[in-house]
A and B are shown apart, each in its own frame.
Chain A
């Protein structure tokens, strides 16, 4: 079945209106709209190491890295699927892991700093 571009546009603009309405309600009364919980996990960059160094998360999880050292670091995956800019002290980088797999990453300024993210269903 072909969906005409007109029907698609109508459907999208309806979805957009619905989302806009929900967002407005959520902003006005946060408890009222139950959004699906998005999981966030923290990884500290401290003393030239990622802590935890190895971590397993469910797909859809967002990992948030925070640099707590007096030295800049980066979070750069080996397969180039995620890469931060240079992070100064206090800077934060985050990435949402939708795809399952094992992702090794390192700091490109100090390549002996490595970590791994295992993403499972």
Chain B
């Protein structure tokens, strides 16, 4: 962590302290869980510790922001970066139950990019499919129409879906459309109505995992880092005992805990973006870093459902090269 550019370290001093302590003895991987709203280190970062902590739960993987089609100085080998991550996922000692992709699958919403993505995602061989939600780079020209030709989850022609696995309810949302406020995209009323109906059939004690590309809390409005009507969705989720919201979009890890709801953004597998609010950096454009540094800033996330624990255990791992 201390080798990262200053703009990408945690901004909260206490959290910086916690992360530096963890990084010193756990290397690149960060293992922590959130109990009662307070981050606590689970133990050391070895897989042995993680496996022994999940007697009847399961593990899944989040990847995000692959941006297939991107070819600029910030990363001239997008496919190579993805393949490093795919190899790591395929080599995990505990086979993940599923893999999710929180959007910006493509860079320009082009059919050839979606096609390439669909083929490359099959290189994650430890699962049958990757559950994707679209990012705004996937909905550029014609909303979700082009994206759905390749990634329609249930064949319903809808950009949202839900499924259950191992006692956990997963929800996939699209929040890259409907620019009603001018700066933030939104979920829209049709999707919110669907979400309300979907959650009505889920018991409050069932853990819920929500996938959506753009952060579901407002991190930095001038850059579109937020969802205009997220509060309505979170109100529907709040009654549940354990809610984990997984987002992408900002190409860096930030978290927020609100009672039973924990929200986490993720690293990209394409290129880093700057932290907001710094003098001299006015826009969220791809950041070109020194040779050898890129691999520390791209990564994947492993999550574990631990029965009896309200919160999921998370490990964020850089791809390294």
Contacts and interface: CB of A to CB of B under 8 A. Distances in A.
B182 A86 contact: no
Contacts of B283: 47-49
Q: Looking at chain B's contact residues, is the secondary structure mostly helix, strand, loop, or mixed?
A: loop
A56 interface: no
A110 interface: yes
A112 B182 contact: yes
A59 B188 CA distance: 37
A72 B183 contact: no
Contacts of A71: 285-286
B141 A69 contact: no
Interface centre among A48, A49, A70 (most CB of B within 10 A): A70
Contacts of A108: 140, 179
B285 A72 contact: no
Given A48-B282, A48-B285, A89 B182 contact: no
A51 interface: no
A85 B137 CA distance: 12
A75 interface: no
B223 interface: yes
Nearest to A47: B283
B223 A70 contact: no
A117 interface: no
B66 to A, nearest CB: 15
Contacts of A85: 140-141
Contacts of A49: 283
B225 to A, nearest CB: 10
Given A72-B140, A112-B223, A88 B179 contact: no
Contacts of A89: 72
Contacts of A109: 136-137, 140
Interface in B60-88: 72-74
27 contacts: A47-B282, A47-B283, A48-B284, A49-B283, A69-B285, A70-B72, A70-B74, A70-B285, A70-B286, A71-B286, A72-B108, A74-B140, A85-B140, A85-B141, A88-B108, A89-B72, A106-B179, A106-B182, A108-B140, A108-B179, A111-B179, A111-B184, A111-B224, A112-B182, A112-B221, A112-B222, A114-B182
Interface of A: 47-49, 69-72, 74, 85-86, 88-89, 106, 108-112, 114
